[in-house]
Amino acid sequence: MIGVIRNTSVRFSEVIESFFKSRIEVLQDNYDFGPEKRINVTGGQAELTPIQECYDKLINTSYFKSLWHTFILEVIKPYFEDQPIYCQKLPSIRIFPADYEIQYIDEPKDGMNLHMDNEPPFYHPTFETNFWMPLIDCDHCNDLYFCDDIGSDKRLWTKRVNIKKNDIFVFSGDIIHGNIMHNKSFNTRASLDFKALKISDYDTSLISDTLLVKKRGQYYKQTDWYSEQYYYDAF
């Protein structure tokens, strides 16, 4: 399942830029992402100071949550034909500074963070749908790539998403996707990533007691984490 949603609701790129008081493309010039040009964030990016501050001082505020709920009701729920849905409580923000190399999976392939979301260590349920919203107009060095075909030589054929900022790429978690590890672009890339599904597609038989990567200082079972208590809100 692959598609694109034109987002005419909340312009999240402007919200993020207002918080940072900077154009997203030049965040690397205005914020310290650490002295090393290679960052391993296989457990998530929250340990990078600018991203943690964005979570703490923007995304976890009532102001942002109000914007988020409006966006879900106006853009995401209609995608599911206005059926009752679960959506990730708050989006994940991904920031890839210009000229940095970032590894966020255990085993990169051909210089890319290619993966499926139902793989370790996050074990996302297969009934989720993925939504990826770039906050800049990406170029070929810093875009999201996906693989929906394998050539006759058994090699993966990757394609650029190549959509405008604030629009949304929709795809299944079992599609191989990721980014080029080394962002050789002059521009920092940022995006919001989140999951949603029809409540009627939530299937307890497809999740288990498998332990996820550590979240909030402890390990959670897949059955516990992917629930209304921790991960989803109902709309």
Which residue in this structure is represented by tokens 């993020």?
A: 16
Its pTM stands at 0.93
- The mean pLDDT of the chain is 91
Strands in 24-91 per DSSP E: 38-40, 85-88
Short-list 158, 161, 180, 172, CA closest to 113: 180
Question: Which CATH number is correct for 2-234, 1.10.10, 2.30.30, 1.10.3470, 2.60.120?
Answer: 2.60.120
Q: DSSP label at 105?
A: S
* pLDDT tens per residue, range 186-230: 999 999 999 999 999 999 999 999 998 767 778 899 999 999 999
pLDDT(61) > 90? yes
Q: The tokens of 107 are what?
A: 């085993």
Domain ranges of the chain: 2-234
> What's the alpha-carbon Rg for the chain, to the nearest Å?
17
* pLDDT tens per residue, range 106-147: 888 889 999 999 988 789 999 999 999 999 999 999 999 998
